Amino acid sequence: MTVTVGGVTYDVEPGQVADAATQCSNTAGQVADQLNGLASFVEGMTEYWSGPAATQFQTLMEEFQAAANGIHLALTQISAGLSGTNENYTQAEEAAIKAEQQIQITEQNTANLT
């Protein structure tokens, strides 16, 4: 679908947008799995630390989890945004096709009357 707005031409293929949404969603899951695995591995080392080192480690792990959650959230939001964009473009394209068909029917009816 090609649209020109304000002199700028946008060429969008809804199928590609849908594929990108799926890829982002899949990547979000893969990244979450990898980060959870890393966190489990590192947290398994807590038995080797005590005192201030253990306290600092817990603080850093909380920061790590917050960052990991942020990455997952960003990827899922990108996926949702792409899915919404795909849906909007698809609906707009369907509406344009229906409008064009209606115009053609109207023109045919008008031609038949004359």
Does a structural domain hold residue 62? yes
Counting Cβ atoms within 10 Å, is residue 33 exposed (0-12), middle (13-18) or buried (19+)?
exposed
For residue 73, the enclosing domain spans: 58-83
- CB of 82 closer than 8 Å to CB of 17: yes
Q: d(Cα 109, Cα 20) in Å, to the nearest integer? A: 43
User: Apex CA 10: angle with CA 9 and CA 12, to 5°?
Assistant: 150
Whether residue 40 lies inside any domain: the answer is: no
pLDDT score, position 114 = 66
- Per-residue pLDDT at 87: 92
Domain for residue 10, yes or no? no
Per-residue pLDDT of the chain (114 residues; tens, 9 = 90+): 677 878 888 787 888 999 999 999 999 999 999 999 999 998 888 888 888 988 898 899 999 999 999 999 999 999 999 999 999 988 988 898 899 999 988 888 888 876
The total number of structural domains in the chain stands at 1
Tell me if 11 is assigned to some domain.
no
H helices present in 10-51, as ranges: 14-43
Both tokens of 73, joined, read 């959230």
What pTM did the predictor assign?
0.73
Q: Tell me, what's the pLDDT at 49?
A: 80
Whether 76 is in a domain gets the answer: yes
